[in-house]
Amino acid sequence: MEQTKSINPATGEEIATYERIPSLSAIRKIEIANNAYESWSKISYGERAAYFKKLAAIFEENKEAYAQLATQEMGKTIEQSRKEIDKCVLIINYYADNIEDLLADEKVETEAYKSYVTFQPLGVILTVMPWNFPFYQVIRFAAPALMAGNTGMLKHASNVQGCAFALEDAFTKAGFPEGVFTNLNVKTETVKTIIEDKNIVAVTLTGSEPAGRSVAAIAGENLKKTVLELGGSDGYIILEDANLEAAAELATFGRLQNNGQTCIAAKRFIVVDAVYDEFLSLFSKKMKEAKMGEPTDESVFYGPMAREDLRNELHEQVKKTVEQGGELVLGGEIPNGKGAYYPATILANLAPGMEGFDNELFGPVASVIKAKNEQHAIELANNSQYGLGSGVLTGNIERGEQVALQLEAGSSFVNKLVVSDPRLPFGGVKNSGYGRELSSYGIKEFVNTKSIWIDKQID
Ligand code: NAP
């Protein structure tokens, strides 16, 4: 039987192997999930919330173990892994505490005796997930979708199956009925068979653009709804009135958090001419000072990338950008020794047509771009195939708000890195995907938004 391997990216050592399941076993598990749906969809919000409260408690009790597992499997610093588990608890509690309001019937005044909109679950939903936030991404799907009364099947990234099974185990320990949440360790090719299965009603994928296109095409042929959360290479505009020291600090964190592998993280820094040189010098100093190292060492700022192949691909993108005329200001060399490490790297003076401008750099590499002025900076920011999370740094918040409104992205923040927050919708436009997660918008993606009309008697 085929196996998946979890490899510690800090050392290159194998941590564990997990057996893949064949498609027939996956179909059987989907049947179980569909049977579970029959009863799970009928219990009250309060009963479902009670299960989720237990799940939050399991996450709190196992915080250190889960955090260590995430760090071992994908290399993020232990501090950031702990924060990821805290965020899972936050999201679970948010949906458990607010479900009645989020999915409350909406009364509509019509000529009817009574008319309203109600929200009903759909059935078994498949979620295909990436490795970069191996616990949080799954919870961001599962908390709202399951609280709404659906059941969920997880196809997690192959390199984080330890986290995938830990998640399934957490649901079991919290007492969820069998089939409400299931991990499927299947091959990518099996995803097609799963989507085609009659019991799967919808699918969501968080990951790369090619994976999104493939899943959306299969789902489209089968008339099944999709939500896609894909890549980003969003612009962060730095205006001449910004506090440059703070901007350099924020940019460094933005580019190195999660070892540079966050979809919404700042990737292209678009700096107006008047402060370009000063920003670049402050940013380079801070990026150089950031300590790279073993992710369990609490003193390091960033660890290795999640896999060696991804590190090597990133390096090729850096080399290509330099060949195209980009200026390598810092880093850009694969270090000697074990592990999938890549140093903090800055590519400057980038322009449209260069790899580092046009495509996502999913690692600790920053693109710095010079703009003539504010309007030019907005044009450069919007000159992207992506539109996930962008921002503007300025000393004038009214000006910042006007810029934010002109940026083509699912989220645009002023004087802050884009973060996901359960109270706000999260998602992208353009090739960053479609649909929303989180908030009331997210929970309503996987429900039947149903109209009820009641007349007193037949006319
Ligand atoms: P990926 O290679 O697309 O993998 C994501 C998931 O999709 C994995 O479970 C993967 O399985 C599966 N997959 C890959 N190709 C597939 C296909 N053709 N059909 C069905 N499933 C397929 O992406 P990644 O490298 O893990 O993650 C990095 C990307 O995700 C970046 O572009 C990042 O920006 C994006 N991302 C977006 C968000 C967001 O919320 N918008 C959040 C996080 C990451 P295997 O592991 O078995 O290949």
Is the domain spanning 234-414 CATH 3.40.309.10? The answer is yes
Residue 440, H or E segment: helix 439-443
Residue 9, H or E segment: none
| 431 CA → ligand 1 middle, Å | 14
| Of 195, 208, 214, 359, best ligand 1 pocket probe by most atoms within 8 Å of the beta carbon | 208
State the catalytic residue, choosing from 73, 84, 88, 263.
263
- Known active-site residue 263: yes
DSSP SS3 for 286:
helix
Q: Is the CB of 215 under 6 A from ligand 1?
A: yes
Q: Angle of helix 244-256 relative to helix 273-289, nearest 10 degrees?
A: 50
Among left, alpha and beta (phi > 0; psi -120 to 50; other), residue 260 is left
Q: How many CA atoms lie within 13 A of 35 on its CB side?
A: 8
- Ligand 1 atom closest to Cα of residue 432: 41
| 231 CA → ligand 1 middle, Å | 9
3-230+432-454 and 234-414: identical CATH topology:
no
pTM of the predicted protein model: 0.97
Q: Domain 3-230+432-454 belongs to what topology?
A: Aldehyde Dehydrogenase; Chain A, domain 1 (3.40.605)
* Residues 387 and 430: beta-carbon distance below 8 Å: yes
CA angle 450, 433, 422 (to 5 degrees): 65
- Known active-site residue 229: yes
What are 154's two structure tokens? Answer: 């997880």
| CA separation for the pair 311, 362 (Å, rounded) | 9
| 246 CA → ligand 1 middle, Å | 32
Q: Is the CB of 230 under 6 A from ligand 1?
A: yes
Domain ranges, ordered by start, for the chain:
3-230+432-454, 234-414
Cα-flanking dihedrals φ and ψ of residue 413, to 5°? -110, 145
Quickly tell me which residue has 């920053």 as its tokens. Answer: 366
- Give me the tens of pLDDT residue by residue for the chain, a chain 459 residues long: 799 999 999 999 999 999 999 999 999 999 999 999 999 999 999 999 999 999 999 999 999 999 999 999 999 999 999 999 999 999 999 999 999 999 999 999 999 999 999 999 999 999 999 999 999 999 999 999 999 999 999 999 999 999 999 999 999 999 999 999 999 999 999 999 999 999 999 999 999 999 999 999 999 999 999 999 999 998 999 999 999 999 999 999 999 999 999 999 889 999 999 999 999 999 999 999 999 999 999 999 999 999 999 999 999 999 999 999 999 999 999 999 999 999 999 999 999 999 999 999 999 999 999 999 999 999 999 999 999 999 999 999 999 999 999 999 999 999 999 999 999 999 999 999 999 999 999 999 999 999 999 999 887
SS (H, E, C) 98-123: HHHHHCCCEECCCCCCEEEEEEEECC
- The type of residue at 34 is N
